[in-house]
Amino acid sequence: MKKIINRILPLALLMGIVYSSCTKYDNPPPVFEEFEPTVTTQRKVLVISIDGLAGSELKAIAPTNIEALRKTSKYSYDVLRGQVANDVASWATMITGVSYSKHLIRENTFQPTPKENSHDAPAVFRNSFDYVLQYKSVKTAMVTPWAELRNYVKVVDRAPVVTTDVAVKDSAINIINTITPLGTMIVNFRDVQAAGASGGFLATNATYKAAVVKADEYVGNIITALKARKNYVNEDWLIMVTTNHGGSNDDPKPGFLIASNKNLKEEEVKKSGFNTVNFKTDAIVAAVPDDHGLYSFGTDKDFSVQMQTKFMSANYYPQFLGKSTSNYTGWFWMQEGNQWNLEFGGTNNGGGGKQQLGIAAGLADGSWHTLTMTVKYVNSTTRTASAFVDGVFKSSYNVSASKNINTTELLKLGVVGGNSDFYAANLSIFNIALEPAVVTANIALKDITKHPNYANLIGFWPINEGGEGVISNKAPVGYDMYLSGPFSWPSMGTSLPAGNIPDPNAGGKSIILTPAAVSATMLYWMNIKILPVFGIDGNPFLNQFEIEFLK
């Protein structure tokens, strides 16, 4: 018998080694907190989403119960919206922690939409509840009046069928009162978004404000129930109040996120420093999907375009900004080594073809330069395009032979027709030809609202969001740009374009929040390691404040 045992034991050890070597990656092991006698408190998460409530309007209304939570929280009134930020896309991002550019969910079916001209099946991403159920011994719940969302998050333990916000509140309280091992729950209120459809999504709209105050009352009811739980003293709850997006489904605005815990000190989290996009390949492009003719300047309209650029290499013939067809109808800017070219044409409209003005700009020296183009209509035979570099007039030429430069092509920023490597900042478009003295005096303007021709500004894009795929228009009128391709938002450190003031907080905490932060923070708080295989883009930002709550 002893000989048999001596033979079996090495074989068993060898089989264990062989089996363990087949593991492709190390999943975090399940943690059953209720059965660990050394654990004195249990991490738990409650998320409450008030759909349609913009961060700016929440700040203006400052309802009582949410304000009380904010006093023990890290919070932001400026959560970036995604490239597609309708109800479905935003909720998919919140639930999965994955940005729209990856999950591609935008329709009520909550199924990903295949990319155009692609035969590849869209990737499918797990939701945060799925990870909680895999790695924790807790119960989960989702309470929403939206049937399609409830069906999308079908893995939860409890998902009561409700149709009104008051029923959502009552069901949430019932779950809190009756499910002792409750570990994560998401509660969704929808009346605020419905109220904004009548009179606007603004704090000044009495109907909208009343809906926000009512939702805040429900938040207070739920928090009261949470604190009355029998085992509350041994539970460490993170309460996140947020929104799918601010504003309407068709015109979404930046949202908010309040992450509250009894040990957190009140602090508004913000981005610091300057981040912009590196347009390095023709796969990365920003465009206005539909400008409704705002940026079409026809035969005789005056206009000006100004942008700050930082070119890292001397490339030849890529377009990097413009609104033009490939056969020269419209206008665009081109790089030619160190030279900056202005191009005009009206081929499709009965006008002349390529009209080019080359400017010796020292473009590719790795420094920031301010490029300004003004276009002034004088008469049917004279339309003058002038070029300025860093506020200094360089040259001009007559582009009247192009005639009508209108085109249905999109206004685009990025590499077209070649390779390049550049950064961009502070793109502005005016519906007048700026005077030379105005150009010179304002190349280092720190506040665009102080520009003497601010009333003529029809587009202003700082290009400093630092995350997601929206380049927001900050002018009184105009449209946002949307990024496509493998874009990123690198920090520029101390290399700043003219007019950008060094951020005194740069180098410290720089926190950029998107809806994906909801899932990422939920998993972080539940002590679930976020592995690369999860594909999560969200920022679990509370990990930067552990000194406050890890004892």
The predicted structure's pLDDT at residue 509: 84
The residues facing 482 across adjacent strands are 287, 470
Return the closest-CA partner of residue 44 out of 187, 236, 219, 274: 236
Confidence at 6, pLDDT banded by 50, 70, 90: very low
Give the total residue count for the chain: 551
The predicted structure's pLDDT at residue 109: 94
How does DSSP classify residue 275? B
**How remote is the C-alpha of 332 from its chain's centroid?**
28
List the domain range (segments joined by +) for residue 248.
Answer: 33-270+511-549
Asked if 53 contacts 71 with a C-beta cutoff of 8 angstroms, the reply is no
- 67-98, pLDDT tens digit by residue? 999 999 999 999 999 889 999 999 999 999 99
Query: d(Cα 75, Cα 267) in Å, to the nearest integer?
Result: 6
Confidence at 37, pLDDT banded by 50, 70, 90: very low
Could you give the number of structural domains in the chain?
2
Q: Is residue 490 part of a domain?
A: no
Q: Is residue 129 part of a domain?
A: yes
Confidence at 354, pLDDT banded by 50, 70, 90: very high
362-386 burial, b for 16+ CB within 10 Å, e for fewer? Answer: ebbeeebbbbbbbbbbeeeeebbbb
Structure tokens at 423: 């950064």
Q: Is residue 500 part of a domain?
A: no
* Cα 188 to Cα 94, 138, 215, 353, 507, distances in angstroms: 12, 20, 10, 57, 37
CA-derived radius of gyration, the chain: 28
Give the residue from 443, 466, 484 where a domain finishes.
Answer: 484
Q: Is residue 20 part of a domain?
A: no
242 and 371 in a common domain: no
The predicted structure's pLDDT at residue 83: 87
Contacts of 359 by beta carbon, 8 Å cutoff, 6+ apart? 339, 340, 341, 342, 387, 389, 394, 395
The arithmetic mean of pLDDT across residues 129-152, rounded, is: 97
- 491-541, pLDDT tens digit by residue? 999 999 999 888 776 667 889 999 999 999 999 999 999 999 999 999 999
Tokens 């582009």 -> residue = 399
The arithmetic mean of pLDDT across residues 107-134, rounded, is: 87
Q: Is residue 538 part of a domain?
A: yes
334 and 236 in a common domain: no
Confidence at 29, pLDDT banded by 50, 70, 90: low
The arithmetic mean of pLDDT across residues 242-252, rounded, is: 94
Alpha helices in 356-477 (DSSP H): 436-441
Contacts of 67 by beta carbon, 8 Å cutoff, 6+ apart? none
Average model confidence (pLDDT) across the chain: 91
Does this model's pTM top 0.75? My answer is yes
From the number of C-beta atoms within 10 Å of its C-beta (0-12, 13-18, 19+), residue 20 rates as: exposed
Q: What is the CATH number of the domain that holds 168?
A: 3.40.720.10
159 and 87 in a common domain: yes
Indicate whether 47 pLDDT > 70. yes
Return the closest-CA partner of residue 48 out of 221, 286, 273, 201: 221
The predicted structure's pLDDT at residue 41: 82
SS3 at position 461? strand
**How remote is the C-alpha of 39 from its chain's centroid?**
37
Q: Is residue 80 part of a domain?
A: yes
Return the closest-CA partner of residue 81 out of 509, 465, 474: 465
392 and 344 in a common domain: yes
Query: d(Cα 324, Cα 409) in Å, to the nearest integer?
Result: 6
Q: Is residue 97 part of a domain?
A: yes
373 and 467 in a common domain: yes
- 210-229, pLDDT tens digit by residue? 999 999 999 999 999 999 99
The predicted structure's pLDDT at residue 40: 63
* Cα 369 to Cα 306, 399, 436, 438, distances in angstroms: 10, 24, 17, 17
The arithmetic mean of pLDDT across residues 444-448, rounded, is: 95
Asked if 197 contacts 184 with a C-beta cutoff of 8 angstroms, the reply is no
The helix or strand, by DSSP H or E, that contains position 185, with its residue range, turns out to be: strand 182-189
Indicate whether 269 pLDDT > 70. yes
526 and 428 in a common domain: no
Return the closest-CA partner of residue 485 out of 102, 35, 87: 102
The predicted structure's pLDDT at residue 2: 39
24 or 333, which is more confident?
333
CA dihedral over 540, 544, 549, 551, signed as positive or negative: positive
The predicted structure's pLDDT at residue 19: 33
The residues facing 388 across adjacent strands are 372, 393
Q: How many other C-beta atoms can be found within 10 angstroms of the C-beta atom of residue 387?
A: 22
334 and 396 in a common domain: yes
Return the closest-CA partner of residue 422 out of 219, 279, 537, 236: 279
Indicate whether 33 pLDDT > 50. no
244 and 288 in a common domain: no
536 and 404 in a common domain: no
291 and 170 in a common domain: no
291 and 264 in a common domain: no
- 319-336, pLDDT tens digit by residue? 999 999 988 999 999 999
The arithmetic mean of pLDDT across residues 358-370, rounded, is: 95
Confidence at 35, pLDDT banded by 50, 70, 90: very low
The predicted structure's pLDDT at residue 12: 38
261 and 286 in a common domain: no
Q: What percentage of the chain carries pLDDT values higher than 90?
A: 84
Per residue, the 3-state secondary structure of 259-301, as one string, reads EECCCCCCEECCCCCCECCEECCCCCEEECCCCCCCCCCCCCC
Task: Tell me the CA end-to-end span of the chain in Å, nearest whole number.
Answer: 54
Give the residue from 431, 449, 484 where a domain finishes.
Answer: 484
How does DSSP classify residue 173? H
The predicted structure's pLDDT at residue 23: 35
Return the closest-CA partner of residue 52 out of 251, 258, 259, 269: 251
- 401-442, pLDDT tens digit by residue? 999 999 999 999 999 988 899 999 999 999 999 999 999 999
The predicted structure's pLDDT at residue 118: 66
Indicate whether 106 pLDDT > 50. yes
Q: Is residue 349 part of a domain?
A: yes
Structure tokens at 247: 């504003």
Confidence at 339, pLDDT banded by 50, 70, 90: very high
Q: What is the CATH number of the domain that holds 317?
A: 2.60.120.200
From the number of C-beta atoms within 10 Å of its C-beta (0-12, 13-18, 19+), residue 116 rates as: exposed
User: Which range is least confidently modeled, 14-18, 114-118, 172-176, 363-367?
Assistant: 14-18
The arithmetic mean of pLDDT across residues 144-158, rounded, is: 96
